[in-house]
Amino acid sequence: MDWLTLPDAAELLRIPVTRVRQMVRERTLLARREDGVLRIPAEFIQDGAVVKGLPGLLVVLADAGFTDDEALEWIFREDPTLPGTPAQALAENRGKEVKRRAQALAF
Prediction pTM value: 0.91
Domain range for 55: 3-105
Number of domains in the chain: 1
The answer to whether 9 touches 43, Cβ cutoff 8 Å, is: no
Q: How far is Cα 103 from Cα 64, in angstroms, rounded to an integer?
A: 8
Tens of pLDDT along 35-87? 999 999 999 999 999 999 999 999 999 999 999 999 999 999 999 888 899 99
